[in-house]
Structure 1
């Protein structure tokens, strides 16, 4: 049986027992209250009868039976009691509901009444078990002349209690019906929440769920909804904790997640292979809405780590750029060689030597200047290669004369990532425009590396730069649009800054301190 059905049965049985026990206790209490009311009633009738002056006079009168029997019958009829027995000090009945019992000894106790006290007792007399009260009767002179016993049989008390049982049973039935209805509603609610599964099914489902979460290679987060409080993290596996730098155990709050991941919990379209950046990782993200009975109840997010892959792709792009530059240089060198050979064949060797010398001088000057002032060979090669790559796209790339960088404790990969992406973005921004140019400066100021990339394009305002530093933002259509986000990630990891400054064109300035995190 499902959890809901089991709970319904247990609740129904428990509530039935509780209601029936409560009803039984109420019945016992009702019977006790009825007996107490009967004792009070017979005491009042006995005491009132004993205080009637005629009763005391008739007890010692010439015809006590003839005088008192009508009075006792009238009192019994008026009050609803079962018997009113008047007796003398000898305890011989002078009145009785059954005339044949008159003149016989009274069956019961009178000792407390002889001492002047009205009392009650439960006693089995001539009419059966009864609740009775006995009161002393005094003359005007204060002399004790007899007793009055007034009682109600237990049979009549039971009949009165029995007459009240339908109401009591009705209350019990109503209570049982209300409690059963409540149990049914709770059962339906639980059935909805547990999808009608049994405890064994729920246990197996949890075990399988936990095993899958631990075995899955991708990071997994499940965001649920909690009304006006916004989304919450319902499920997160170990891989997601590792990728997001979260504690290995314990609950995870929305505030502890990176902003780019928190945004995934908001309502939105399903997504595949979105690139998101955290402080130190590049994540490929998928998002799917979870729906139940036509309404959205949460969001499932998968995370794959592409940090190393993106780094390798960046390096591959740099190598590809250098290879394309070398290919262009080889093509250009072939053209120049053919030109020189032709000039020699035409009998103009002096002009051929001058042409070759000038080309070599300009190229060698750039190589010599960059390699002499930039200690990092990878960065120097990147700057030299980007000059030819820019030229192939009709862009004049200049490495400024104040470019100088001694050996600093920064990884070549980080320098190449920052400089290469900034230069690529600048070339892309001005490529195809008239008089396109890009200027690059890399220098050292105290314990900080300053990288400045200017171009002839319109530039970016601070808001555009801020958006470009977030996940996947790009003004371009290809995957290189991740460049500024990767730059921002590298600079942020090392505690640096990235900003734009006003100039004749566009100017982006990156500052990386030596003491930043590796």
Structure 2
């Protein structure tokens, strides 16, 4: 059936049900009115007949013909269905039905009392006849046959078919107009087409790998697929609820292909407006998970650090070979021997100082690579006296390498290409069993942090440099620290000072909030000394 046909059938069904209920109510009311009105009339007729002197005399003297004539006269005048006269022995003396004469007639109550009630399909009233001696001489019984239910219905609602016809025509016109209006709003589609379209949309929406989220003009969620719920950690019943807090700030900022950090995930986010018929309805937001790519990038960072170290060492080795070649051409053989000995000892000191203090091979390799890179740029690289760290587990080592690499790279970028800068590094553990943490602090002699507040540098996208991939290093460092239950802070003190704290054991979320403020590392500038001397400063460009 079409939409209009369904509306018509539904409305006609409703009309028929309503008319049936009205008819039932009318029948009940008609029955009650019949019993009330006819009962009073029958009782009045019986009382009038019982008060007739001729009837009393006829009953006392047993004038049956006279009694029968009086009963028939009363019936003809009153319009009752029948008038029956019963003697004191409850046998019928006069009745329209000759078969009843002489037979006992059951009464609805005591003969001495007037009574109105229903017997079988008849409404009856009986009144006692009292003789001149004040004794019971008989009973007058008047009755009226109940009309059929169709007669009562016709009397109660004489125009039921007319009402039904008028209601049907109104329902037909209303159904047609309503169907036209709904079809305009549903683009001419029938209900089964709309249901199929919704099912197909739901299947496609929840089947795609990207997260899809739509919000209205009040930032209330109107649609969210399974991937969006998973990536953003939304509740299953998020549809209809407004965005709040950090999530609202993240999703209401316009832009295309924005790389954002949320919780422990790196996401690519697009936010586009949605319009229909010239009206702005809200926004649709698509999300793609780049966490695995960032994890792969972290693994590749180790290779990049190694290649940077090899490149810096190759550059420094080339400079030394040029120096040796020049000394040989000048015939300064003793100077060549001293130069080779000095550079060899400087390289050994570089490796020994780092590996002796830091037992973790991954972190030691990273710092050697960064020290070589700093030396190539003419930047002094120092370790705070007392920086000691034991061997770490694999996951903590990987997290520490990522955080340290991002902080040192940030310091190198802050110092720029001009020589003469200085980077001071502190690495230590806080000891203890449950609250053991690794603290790493990086200080540079650059211009410091210009952001207000300083913590804004950890927001994704914050950068003083250009490039699509900028602004993620410090955000990723903070993500790693907070994921483990640690913290990362920054302040200015003759340059930028970054302090990261990574618990040895990842803490549950309930304990993380108490540690978000972190603790700043105490810096003692005279205690810092270069990791290497000539070896790190001799390779300036």
For 1:135, the equivalent position in structure 2 comes to 127
| Partners of 2:32 and 2:82 in 1: CA distance | 23
The structure-2 alpha-carbon separation of the partners of 1:505 and 1:121, relative to structure 1 and needing over 3 Å to count, comes to: closer
Q: TM-score, normalised by structure 2?
A: 0.65
The structure-2 alpha-carbon separation of the partners of 1:140 and 1:23, relative to structure 1 and needing over 3 Å to count, comes to: same
| Partners of 1:388 and 1:88 in 2: CA distance | 135
- Residue 437 in 1 paired to residue 422 in 2? yes
For 1:365, the equivalent position in structure 2 comes to 349
The structure-2 alpha-carbon separation of the partners of 1:54 and 1:229, relative to structure 1 and needing over 3 Å to count, comes to: farther
| Partners of 1:88 and 1:260 in 2: CA distance | 95
The structure-2 alpha-carbon separation of the partners of 1:122 and 1:507, relative to structure 1 and needing over 3 Å to count, comes to: closer
The structure-2 alpha-carbon separation of the partners of 1:334 and 1:441, relative to structure 1 and needing over 3 Å to count, comes to: same
**Post-superposition CA distance 1:444-503 (Å, at most 9, x none):** 4435322110122324789543x5545555454332421122222333343433233664
For 1:97, the equivalent position in structure 2 comes to none
- Residue 403 in 1 paired to residue 393 in 2? no
1:500 aligned counterpart, secondary structure: strand
For 2:440, the equivalent position in structure 1 comes to 451
| Structure 2 unaligned regions, length at least 5 | 60-65, 508-541
For 1:500, the equivalent position in structure 2 comes to 490
| Partners of 2:210 and 2:82 in 1: CA distance | 93
- Residue 220 in 1 paired to residue 223 in 2? no
**Contact 1:441/1:452, CA 8 A, preserved across alignment:** yes
For 2:503, the equivalent position in structure 1 comes to 513
The structure-2 alpha-carbon separation of the partners of 1:473 and 1:340, relative to structure 1 and needing over 3 Å to count, comes to: same
| Structure 1 unaligned regions, length at least 5 | 94-100, 124-128
| Partners of 1:5 and 1:470 in 2: CA distance | 57
RMSD over aligned Cα atoms: 5.7
**Contact 1:373/1:403, CA 8 A, preserved across alignment:** yes
- Residue 383 in 1 paired to residue 376 in 2? no
Deviation at 1:428, TM superposition (A): 2.1
Deviation at 1:417, TM superposition (A): 0.8
The structure-2 alpha-carbon separation of the partners of 1:317 and 1:130, relative to structure 1 and needing over 3 Å to count, comes to: closer
For 1:96, the equivalent position in structure 2 comes to none
The structure-2 alpha-carbon separation of the partners of 1:311 and 1:236, relative to structure 1 and needing over 3 Å to count, comes to: closer
The structure-2 alpha-carbon separation of the partners of 1:504 and 1:183, relative to structure 1 and needing over 3 Å to count, comes to: farther
Deviation at 1:220, TM superposition (A): 3.0
**Contact 1:47/1:135, CA 8 A, preserved across alignment:** yes
Q: TM-score, normalised by structure 1?
A: 0.67
| Partners of 1:260 and 1:119 in 2: CA distance | 82
| Partners of 1:396 and 1:449 in 2: CA distance | 24
The structure-2 alpha-carbon separation of the partners of 1:187 and 1:11, relative to structure 1 and needing over 3 Å to count, comes to: farther
Pairing of 1:45-444 with structure 2 (within 5 A): 45-50=44-49, 115-118=111-114, 133-139=125-131, 141-142=133-134, 162=154, 164-166=156-158, 196=189, 198-199=191-192, 202=195, 206=199, 209-210=202-203, 213-214=206-207, 216=208, 218-222=209-213, 230-231=220-221, 234-237=224-227, 241=230, 251=236, 262-263=247-248, 267=252, 269=254, 271-279=256-264, 281-288=265-272, 294=279, 296=281, 299-304=284-289, 306-317=290-301, 319-320=303-304, 322-324=306-308, 326-331=310-315, 333-335=317-319, 337-339=321-323, 341-342=325-326, 345=329, 361-393=345-377, 395-411=379-395, 412-431=397-416, 436-444=421-429
| Partners of 2:295 and 2:350 in 1: CA distance | 28
